[in-house]
Amino acid sequence: MGWLYIALLALAVAVFAAAEWPRLGVRFGLEARRRRDRARRKANLKLLRTETDEFAESVQRDLANLPTTEETDRRF
């Protein structure tokens, strides 16, 4: 009787693995490996600030500080 229980257990594990394969594939499959590799590569990157970045920030600050006029009474 022992082999019957082992066969049923193996069958249950196979059915469970087949049912959960999409979720397991996301975590352990090829796409997950690509995501981990990309995250590892991105961790080694450094952001370099250039003069153009500083210039763009100063322009954005200047535009944000400009006074605006709101037309509340339009007459044509």
What is the rounded distance in angstroms from the CA atom of residue 53 to the CA atom of residue 61?
Answer: 12
Instruction: Assess if residue 75 is contained within a domain.
Output: no
Q: Which is more confidently placed, 67 or 6?
A: 6
Q: At what angle do helices 2-28 and 30-43 cross, to 10 degrees?
A: 40
Instruction: Assess if residue 51 is contained within a domain.
Output: yes
What secondary structure, in 3-state letters, does 24-36 show? HHHHHCHHHHHHH
| Residue 76 confidence (pLDDT) above 60 | no
Instruction: Assess if residue 29 is contained within a domain.
Output: yes
Instruction: Assess if residue 2 is contained within a domain.
Output: no
Instruction: Assess if residue 69 is contained within a domain.
Output: no
* Residue labelled with tokens 């019957």: 4
Q: How many domains does the chain have?
A: 1
State pTM to two decimals: 0.39
What is the rounded distance in angstroms from the CA atom of residue 7 to the CA atom of residue 25?
Answer: 25
| Full residue range of the structural domain in which residue 31 is found | 7-64
Q: Which is more confidently placed, 38 or 75?
A: 38
Q: Using one digit for the tens of pLDDT, what is the confidence trace for 8-40? A: 999 999 999 889 888 877 777 888 889 999 999
